[in-house]
Amino acid sequence: MTTALQSLPRWEAATRGGGLVARDSHVSKRAYVAPAAIVRSGAEIFGQARAEGTTEVGRLARLSGKAIVRNSRILDFSAVSDSAQVINSTLSADAGQRDCPFVCDEAVVEDSHLYGQVRVCENGSLKNVTADGNVEIRGNGRAEDCELGSGVIIHEGIWHESPRVWLTGLHYNLIACRQHEDWQQSKCIVGCVCHTVDHWIRGGRKNGQLMGMTDEQMWVFAQLIIENFVPAEYRKEAYSIW
């Protein structure tokens, strides 16, 4: 008969730091696991990655490179790599899903909760944010004190509310990515391509053709961009240019 003691995971001290590490996890010799941190069964820590404070690296999660994770929970298949930092945050899968957050490059995530297919890379940063679903933060994009829903892409500017996303049902969606007092200089993303509103209007057909759009698809985006970004008094002219 298996006793309760025999059914508990087997633990050992980390190579550096003295934190609690499951024996069937992997922690490289140069990695650091703080005394109050825990690395669970199946987790992996490579390179010089650091699990600091009360961090929990959950089953199948991964830290690598020179990543620093402090007082956070990195769960499921979530990963933090390169020189990214995750502080006082939780990364985990959506309920019943395998897609998990990935934080890499020089990105910083602080006081946030990320669920599902959230990507924070390059110099992107999040602070006091809840992001759920297919969300991408890259470039110098930054979001603070807000909730980000699925489909959002932020690659520049500081956002205190979620950019608007128009789900078209086509292969591409429309995403607002910069609001400017001069409407022509506002920016939006079609698919993964970002241009100013003025650029989309003046080169919309050509851009659409380069992206492989049909005439019907291009017309859908023409209407969305003009009706949502162009002041009413300029819309007739915008339609004639498109």
Last residue of one domain, picked from the residues 143, 163, 183: 163
Tell the residue number behind the tokens 């591409």, with chain if given: 172
Last residue of one domain, picked from the residues 132, 163, 194: 163
Residue 102 lies in a domain: yes
Residue 168 lies in a domain: no
In tens, the pLDDT along 42-79 reads 999 999 999 999 999 998 999 999 999 999 999 999 99
> Same domain, yes or no, for 134 and 227?
no
> Same domain, yes or no, for 121 and 230?
no
**Model confidence, pTM:** 0.86
Confidence category of residue 12, pLDDT binned at 50, 70, 90: low
User: Around 181, how many Cα atoms within 13 Å sit in the side-chain half-sphere?
Assistant: 0
Q: How far apart are CA 60 and CA 25, in angstroms?
A: 9
Q: CB pairs under 8 A, 24+ apart, for 72-76?
A: 75/100, 76/100
Residue 26 has pLDDT above 60, yes or no: yes
CATH of the domain at 11: 2.160.10.10
> Same domain, yes or no, for 196 and 100?
no
Tell me the backbone φ, ψ of residue 104, rounded to 5 degrees. -145, -175
Residue 86 lies in a domain: yes
Measured from the Cβ of residue 198, the count of other Cβ atoms closer than 10 Å reads 18
> Same domain, yes or no, for 92 and 179?
no
Instruction: Show the domain range for 234.
Output: 174-241
Residue 146 lies in a domain: yes
Q: Where are the beta strands (DSSP E) in 140-202?
A: 142-148, 153-154, 158-159, 165-166, 174-178, 187-190, 193-196
Number of domains within the chain: 2
- The pLDDT assigned to 3 comes to 44
> Same domain, yes or no, for 144 and 180?
no
Residue 169 lies in a domain: no
Q: How far apart are CA 215 and CA 199, in angstroms?
A: 18
Mean pLDDT in the chain? 90
Tell me the backbone φ, ψ of residue 117, rounded to 5 degrees. -80, 65
